[in-house]
Amino acid sequence: MRYVLKRVRRLVVVIFAVTLFTFLLVNVLPGDVAYDIAGQDASEEEVQAIRADLGLDRPVMVRYVEWLGDFVQGDWGRSFRTDEPVVEAILSRFPVSLELMLVAQVFALILAVPFGIIAAYRAGRTTDRAIATAGFMSLSIPSFMAAILLILIVSLNLGWLPTSEYEPLSEGLWANLRAFILPALAIAMAEWVILMRVLRADMIGVLQQDYISLARAKGLPVWHVILRHALKPASFSMITVLGLQIGNLVGGSIIIESIFALPGVGRLLINAIYARDFIVVQGVVVFIAFAYVMVNFIVDLLYAVLDPRIRTERADG
């Protein structure tokens, strides 16, 4: 309990600091919002009018407190380009980002588990080194580059998955999923390596345990022993990393969403940046930070549930 309270307190401080930081950055630094809204040929009076209208002529801290009050109540302002309420804009796009991340994680797992097992089983041999090398190269491909290569090879040269528009789930599962395959693969290209390495390291340790030798000595086939006896204890760290990686995926999926024209939160952010739509940017940044912190918080708690040692150790630290 003490552990949970400590984590919650920290969570609140971090989120508060993020809102303050984002607000100050967007509001105090150069490039006054009013000039952007008014456009290039606006007169000074028009700019002043907009500024008064938005309340920009008052002290920053007063505005921050007001903004935070509205923010907590779910009023995140409106886009001054499209007039769409920011909360709705984010919430309507969030499922797309979530689906992209889930599909990407599934792909990463599909690659990581078999290769991790094989690498651990053949640790130090040629197969292991080949997998390590492939992983190293895979990690050196930036996700946007992977995206371009996938489009070029899979859709243009092989013609397997013509680059398709995003379809909502109501249009059928396959129509919906096929738009996610290439983007999720582009993200998974780097993710699987990290998972594979963690699994391999743990698997090597587990395979040296006595009960594995016993199972083998009983005459159970190798793959049975690995899949039924070794995989579960060896995948503990990998699952933790899987959770923590979700946070990193948030950043990575921003570019991927805009390359594949998926209407997710990342694309909303990029488009808002191109349009210099400060209010949307501000909302999305706080939302992403919030989601990111929450995910890490939950993973941390789950970890403590699974491994009781952490509850006592970390409560002191």
- Length of the chain measured in residues: 317
How far is it, in rounded angstroms, from Cα 102 to Cα 253? 11
Q: Does 18 bind other proteins (CB under 8 A)?
A: yes
Of the two residues 10 and 58, which places its CB atom closer to other proteins in the complex? 10
> Which string of DSSP letters, residue by residue, matches 29-70?
SSS-HHHHHH-TT--HHHHHHHHHHHTTTS-HHHHHHHHHHH
Binding string, residues 20-49; x marks residues near other proteins by CB under 8 A: -xx--xx--xxx------------------
Of the two residues 96 and 230, which places its CB atom closer to other proteins in the complex? 96
Q: Does 5 bind other proteins (CB under 8 A)?
A: no
Closest by CA to 24, choosing from 54, 53, 67, is 67
Q: Does 285 bind other proteins (CB under 8 A)?
A: yes
Of the two residues 29 and 217, which places its CB atom closer to other proteins in the complex? 29
Determine the residue type at 20: L
List 14, 181, 204, 212, residue binding other proteins (CB under 8 A): 14
Closest by CA to 205, choosing from 136, 123, 131, is 123
List 154, 201, 293, 315, residue binding other proteins (CB under 8 A): 293
List 42, 68, 220, 270, residue binding other proteins (CB under 8 A): 270
Contact set for other proteins, span 129-188 (CB under 8 A): 136-137, 139-145, 148-149, 151-152, 156
Of the two residues 226 and 256, which places its CB atom closer to other proteins in the complex? 256
How far is it, in rounded angstroms, from Cα 183 to Cα 107? 11
Q: Which residues contact 126 (CB under 8 A, 6 or more apart)?
A: none
Q: How many CB atoms lie within 10 A of CB 282?
A: 23
Q: Does 89 bind other proteins (CB under 8 A)?
A: no
DSSP SS3 for 86 = helix
List 97, 105, 235, 258, residue binding other proteins (CB under 8 A): 258
Shortest CB 164 distance to other proteins, Å: 16
Of the two residues 176 and 248, which places its CB atom closer to other proteins in the complex? 248
Structure tokens at 155: 């859709």
Applying CB under 8 A, the span of 63-71, 77-85, 94-102, 270-278 interacting with other proteins comes to 270-278
Of the two residues 13 and 222, which places its CB atom closer to other proteins in the complex? 13
DSSP SS3 for 80 = coil
Shortest CB 87 distance to other proteins, Å: 18
List 116, 135, 183, 252, residue binding other proteins (CB under 8 A): 252
Shortest CB 16 distance to other proteins, Å: 9
> Which string of DSSP letters, residue by residue, matches 110-171?
HHHHHHHHHHHHTTTSHHHHHHHHHHHHHHTS-HHHHHHHHIIIIIIIS-SS-------GGG
> Which string of DSSP letters, residue by residue, matches 233-270?
HHTHHHHHHHHHHHHHHHHHHHHHHHHTT--SHHHHHH
Shortest CB 19 distance to other proteins, Å: 11
Chain contacts with other proteins (rule: CB under 8 A): 10, 13-15, 17-18, 21-22, 25-26, 29-31, 136-137, 139-145, 148-149, 151-152, 156, 247-248, 250-252, 254-255, 258-259, 269-270, 273, 276, 278, 281, 285, 288-289, 292-293
